[in-house]
Structure 1
Amino acid sequence: MFNRLFGKPKQEANALTTLDKLNETLEMLEKKEKVLAKKAAAEVEKAKEFAKGRNKRAAIQCLKRKRLYEQQIEQLGNFQLRIHDQMIMLEGAKATTETVDALRTGAAAMKAMQKATNIDDVDKTMDEINEQTENMKQIQEALSTPIGAAADFDEDELEAELEELEGAELEEQLLQPATTAPAAPVQVPAGRQPARPIPQKRTAEEDELAALQAEMAL
């Protein structure tokens, strides 16, 4: 159990420690390579000086030492290449391990969830929901059913009474006299006034009748 609990962190710690060690070694090799390169360049300068002084033997010795430095530089380059390769492989293995661990954790969680909610529990829950839904429908139907005096009313009679009321209302609307709209006033164009009636002259008979009415009034 302790191996299962503490094994993964220990492996991760080992991987990180190894990567740190490889990085340190790589830095050390790079520093040595720079030092050897400076020594090789110095031997070249010495060889030039000896060549100017016509000391051929000393110049050749400088070039030999320069070749030895170059061989060491090449060897250090191969070491660095191997370390880089090792670091890439280790980082890839670390990423693979982390991916597998994550997938394993997800699979375990999925398995636990499936175990907690198996198909029997789901079916039982759905049956309970359907039963509760059916009970609720029955309760609603019972509450909507009329009771007391309202339950004794005949729906057909009520509908017939409603039709009679509607027929009477329609008949009353048909018997009402149609209201006529008031005549619109005639507009007289501006500048045109209606002609006043011209008084007509009364005849002699009309004068005598008017005088007789005046005497009777006295």
Structure 2
Amino acid sequence: MFEKLFKKSKETLSPLSTIDKLNETLEMLEKKENVLQRKMSSEIQKAKDFTRMKNKRAAIQCLKRKKLYEAQIEQLGNFQLRIHDQMITLEGAKATTDTVYALRTGAAAMKAIQHSMNVDDIDKTMEEVNEHTENMKQIQEALAAPIGAAADIDEDELEAELEELEGAELEEELLQPTGSVPAVQRPAANLPQRAAPLQSTSNEEADELASLQAEMAL
């Protein structure tokens, strides 16, 4: 019974097929992580926009969503580490299996393998299978545990982050150039200077006319 079970496990779960499946899962997780990174960047930009519009409530909502995306990205990173660890283990197991198959090509190696294939060897193999099964069960339980990221968000931390965004926006407004007002006011400032020559010319003509009238009176 043990031999049949062990043989079936080798046929359905070969190291190569399992490694290929893990690679596919790893690529999927990386793509999902990139999507979450873009969503997180979008929420940060939205928070800045709402901050400019003085909409504090909407900005905080954006920061909350950003925190959720951060938690998901961290979780995906842990998944990827576990997959990498499993792939390394399987690659080592495959190397061991290839070595065993190579040894079977020799008659001496075949006798050594036949000598080692006894009840004690099967029991040892089943102990390893049970150990890996228990480890996989623990991993599955850890993955199924709720993380509760939304409940763990610190409102004070969000308030502090919002104040940093408001300070950054105020600094950008203060650094913008403001040189357009004096250019508009210059023509008005020059109007009295243009009127001065006309007034001077009119006074000279009045003096000349008064002098002429005086001469005619004499």
Larger gyration radius, structure 1 or structure 2: 1
TM range (shorter): 0.3 to 0.5
Higher helix share: 2
- With normalisation by structure 2, the TM-score equals 0.44
